[in-house]
Structure 1
Amino acid sequence: MRDAPHLPSETIREALDAHFGLKPAILEFLPLGNDSASWSFRADDHFLKVRAGDGRMPGAAVPALLRDLPHVLAPLPTTSGAPYATVNGFALALYPLLDAAPAVEVGMSAEHWRTIGKAISTLHTTPLTPALIQAADRETYRPGRRELIPAIEAALRAPQDDIAKELADHWTARKEIIDDLLQRTDTMGPRLAAEEPPLVLTHGDLHTWNILIDKENNLWIIDWDEAAVAPRERDLMLVIRGIGPGLVSEDDTAAFFQGYGDSTVPDERLLSFYRAAWAVRDIAEFGERVLLDPRLSEEARQDAVEGFLSLFEPGDIVEIAT
């Protein structure tokens, strides 16, 4: 996110000291990621993730339980052994700061894709213990932020400033596509839920921005905020055609499945649902930022308008989903 959280730096420092025994000389906000409820900081030689909400934090709790699995970057425990701490309506998780870069920037070889395939196969066959079931979300077969669409469309009918008016014009021009995605997910979701497909532990956000490659060529899977007990297609969708241009090729997909090993053909209906659900979630999230979040700066809201438009570009998620 471009904007820092509404949590004073001094409060963050006090929480790091109280819960992690860390008194950082450097606490630097990093404008990373595309999640309006999540923020990143450098705290000396640590990476700090701050997330809105002082309840469950699957993004820290799940990898903490998976720390013995290869390629999982787990959080550092608090002084009480918890995977994260809470303060003033926010959850804080601390990680080692790796000398690494996102795979989308440095590229992945066929061997890298086979390694990730094997790692995800291990994840999908991990027993669903009571602790994991409690830590992870559970599939609802409803796109994230779907419930915000009525409020977004109401705000679009009476835009309050130039940025909102710009989004309203772009939304109206694409309304037929948006309505089709909504109708598809609203129809498909309950049907799929009624069939009760097999469930596994999924990462839910497995694209090459969330795979790090360090200087020793080790791979690390990060950003477990979307971890959920769900059909395996929730992850496989992200490596079959992907969610945007250039993120995964057919050769990458083939190498991934060489490592993954399971020869069972993924369910095309589930893949189709998850593509459409991803598009709906992103459309709603950008709409929320422009119209429903009064904390955001004009710059962040304008970025959200551009993000909304990018979803409809050739090869991006809307085209993939439709």
Structure 2
Amino acid sequence: MIDDTSRQVAGWVRADFGLDLTTVDEVTHGADQHARLWRASCADGARYAVKLSGGGTPAGLVVAAHLAEQGVPGIAAPLRTPDGGLRSHRSGRRLSVVPWVSDRRALGGPMTEAHWRAYGELLAAVHAVPVTDELVRLLPRGGAAYRRIVAATRATAERLRDPDPADPAGPLVAEMAAVWSVAADQVSTLIREVERLAADPAGAMVVCHGDPHLGNLLLGPDGQVWLIDWDDAVLAPIECDLMFVTGGVLAFATITTEQRAAVLAGYGSADVDPRRLAWFLAVRALDDLSDWTSQALDTGASVADRARAADVVRGLVSPIGLVVLADAALLDLGQAG
């Protein structure tokens, strides 16, 4: 169907990419507050993911195109504009078009053993791609935002610990304060250890997706997988991506021993450093905790969106949540030392 917004998007795509879209339907299951996504199709039946991105880095499109050109399986190459560009600019955001490769999301699965193995093979192929001078120039370093993340976590903790009577979030603050109290000690440990371990030497830098959880993985027949949404691509040690496997959590779902074994069998030999792994886990845990809490306290958001964000926060501090898993990884470091 084509409503007013969809008609506008179709006009942009026609003008910028030369595609005549016959259907444009918004997809609302993503977690990116800074992006909007549409599933679109043309009269010949070809389908595309049309995205307006305001966050992440524009280098993600360059990375996806480069990986596809290098023959990395499971990468959908972005379409180019008539002048060879990978994006245009509309409403202050990046407009991109990528083939719609599958309707089957790994989040909710089910994933077969072949899918898990292919996921590992795909990560290994990404990490093996030579790092070009262009990628060095364009890609941010993985974990480089840790100071901002720590500051945001401290600010959120202070807001919950000493609420302002004039805070428009009012009861929401009290609700989130109760949730955070469950993991107060773990959060303090994560903040301390993230700052302490940041001084450790970094490992070899490779191209990393930066956010390869199940929500960004699509499934095909015969164990085929695609890794999508490269907005958070970075240069980082392999632990930046492998924490989603060896760290035990893949976006709102735990990974079993058997599933982990299948991924690592596909990935092959990997010298995973436990200190770097624990550090990336801790940074991600703090980032997710502070970001989703901010969404839960956003009085401008819908009740449904705030409730969903609050549920995510509860999951993060649950016994199998990322905050607890990251804290356990740091504890293991201390015991090993």
Identity of aligned residues (%): 27
Give yes or no for contact 1:104–1:209 (8 Å, CA) kept in 2: yes
Distance 1:271 1:214 in 2: 30
Written as runs of structure 1 = structure 2, the 5 A alignment for 1:215-226 is: 215=221, 217-226=223-232
Candidates 170, 187, 190, aligned match of 2:196: 187
Which position in structure 2 is the counterpart of 1:138?
141
Aligned match of 1:83: 86
Q: CA deviation at 1:129?
A: 0.3
Tell me the distance in 2 between the aligned counterparts of 1:283 and 1:183.
Answer: 15
Q: 1:296 to 1:91 in 2, by over 3 A?
A: farther
Letter in 1 for 2:25: E
Residue 169 in structure 1 maps to residue 178 in structure 2: yes
Aligned to 1:98: 101
Instruction: Normalising by structure 1, report the TM-score.
Output: 0.85
TM-score (norm 2): 0.82
Tell me: CA distance 1:10–1:115, structure 2 relative to 1, closer, same or farther (3 Å).
closer
Q: Structure 1 CA distance, aligned partners of 2:204 and 2:221?
A: 38
Q: Deviations over 1:173-205 (max 9, x none)?
A: 54332222212212212x22xx13211111122
Q: Judging changes above 3 Å, is the alpha-carbon distance between structure 1 residues 170 and 315 closer, same or farther for their aligned structure 2 residues? A: closer
| Alignment partner, residue 244 of structure 2 | 238
Out of 289, 292, 298, which is 1:283 matched to? Answer: 289
2:52 is matched with which residue?
Answer: 50
Q: How does 1:310-321 map to 2 (within 5 A)?
A: 310-321=315-326
Contact 2:27/2:37 (<8 A) preserved = yes
Output aligned runs, 1:1-322, within 5 Å: 9=6, 11-44=8-41, 45-52=47-54, 56-67=57-68, 68-143=71-146, 145-153=149-157, 155-156=159-160, 157-158=163-164, 159-161=167-169, 162-189=171-198, 191-192=199-200, 195-215=201-221, 217-243=223-249, 246-262=253-269, 264-291=270-297, 296-322=301-327
1:83 counterpart SS class: coil
Structure 2 counterpart of 1:3: none
Letter in 2 for 1:160: P
- Cα distance in 1 between the residues matched to 2:23 and 2:114: 37
Q: Deviations over 1:256-307 (max 9, x none)?
A: 2222222x5310001111111111010111122234x565333322321222
The 2-side partners of 1:37 and 1:222 are apart by 16
* Cα pair distance change 1:150/1:132, threshold 3 Å: same
Q: How many residue pairs were aligned?
A: 310
Gaps of 5+ in 2: 42-46, 328-337
Moved more, 238-247 or 27-36: 238-247
Provide the secondary structure at the position in 2 that maps to 1:104. coil
Query: Deviations for 1:65-86, whole angstroms, at most 9, x for unmatched residues?
Result: 1113111122222232222221
Once residues 276 and 222 of structure 1 are traced to their aligned partners in structure 2, the CA distance between those partners, rounded to angstroms, is 24
RMSD: 2.6
User: Could you tell me how far apart the structure 1 residues matched to 2:206 and 2:22 are?
Assistant: 42
**AA at the equivalent of 1:312:** V
Aligned residue identity for 2:82: T
Instruction: Assess, with a 3 A threshold, how the Cα gap between structure 1 residues 282 and 63 changes in structure 2: closer, same or farther.
Output: same
Is the contact made by 1:114 and 1:258 (CA closer than 8 Å) also made in structure 2?
A: yes
Deviation at 1:8, TM superposition (A): 5.2
Following the alignment from structure 2 to structure 1, what is the Cα–Cα distance between the partners of residues 131 and 196?
A: 29
Structure 1: gaps of 5 or more residues: 1-6
Which amino acid in 1 is paired with 2:140?
Answer: D
Q: Which moved more, 1:107-116 or 1:202-211?
A: 107-116
Aligned residues of 1:237 and 1:274 also touching (Cα < 8 A) = yes
How many angstroms apart in 1 are the aligned matches of 2:8 and 2:57?
20
Matched-pair contact (CA < 8 Å) for 2:128–2:206: yes
